[in-house]
């Protein structure tokens, strides 16, 4: 079977000029250009609102906004994912992945392992138990493999 999904997927749309007299030195993805332009305007407006009208300050604020936009779209802390996607994954984990018990945030453990991700919606937590033979678990609740149990039994018999 041939999986050619990356071959069949068209490349992202790019632009090489912004108008009749504005030619870019190289092609730029439309997504990158749009995000940088929007953040340029937002940061320039925020700079104007905070520091008053000064062309130099407004341009510096706008350029900083464009740099932030470029980093959000192009920088990749995870392989194949943008910085914006990385932030959304972290925020989604913080918001959606929390477990609440009686309205309070809580960490849930299965044995000694923390549960990092839970299902969306309501999760019912119930207590469970089972008969455990003496010497089959360590002091932290971890299961001791049978071959190690036999070795422990021998050493305990010798010492006692």
pLDDT (tens digit, 9 = 90+) per residue, 107-152? 777 767 777 666 666 666 666 667 777 777 777 777 788 777 776 6
- Residues 95 and 70: their CA atoms lie apart, in Å, by 26
Residue 159 clears pLDDT 60, i.e. is over it: no
Of 35 and 149, the structure prediction assigns the larger pLDDT to: 35
Instruction: For the chain, give the number of residues.
Output: 160
**Interval 37-66: pLDDT, tens:** 999 999 999 999 999 899 999 999 999 999
Summarize the confidence of residues 61-89 as an average pLDDT.
85
DSSP 3-state assignment of 147?
Answer: helix
Asked if residue 72 has pLDDT above 90, the reply is: no
């Amino acid at each position: 079977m041939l999986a050619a999904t990356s071959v069949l997927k068209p490349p992202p749309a790019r632009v090489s000029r912004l108008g009749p007299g504005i030619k870019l030195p190289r092609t730029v993805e439309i997504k990158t250009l749009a995000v940088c332009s929007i953040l340029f305007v937002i940061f320039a407006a925020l700079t104007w609102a905070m520091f008053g009208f000064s062309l130099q300050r407004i341009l510096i604020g706008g350029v900083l906004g464009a740099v932030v936009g470029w980093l959000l779209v192009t920088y990749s802390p995870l392989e194949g994912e943008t910085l914006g996607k990385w932030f959304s994954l972290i925020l989604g984990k913080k918001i959606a992945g929390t477990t609440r018990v009686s309205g309070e945030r809580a960490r849930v453990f299965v044995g000694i392992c923390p549960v990092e991700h839970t299902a969306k919606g309501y999760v019912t937590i119930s207590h469970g138990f089972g008969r455990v033979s003496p010497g089959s678990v360590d002091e932290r609740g971890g299961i001791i493999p049978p071959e190690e149990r036999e070795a422990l039994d021998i050493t305990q018999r010798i010492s006692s």
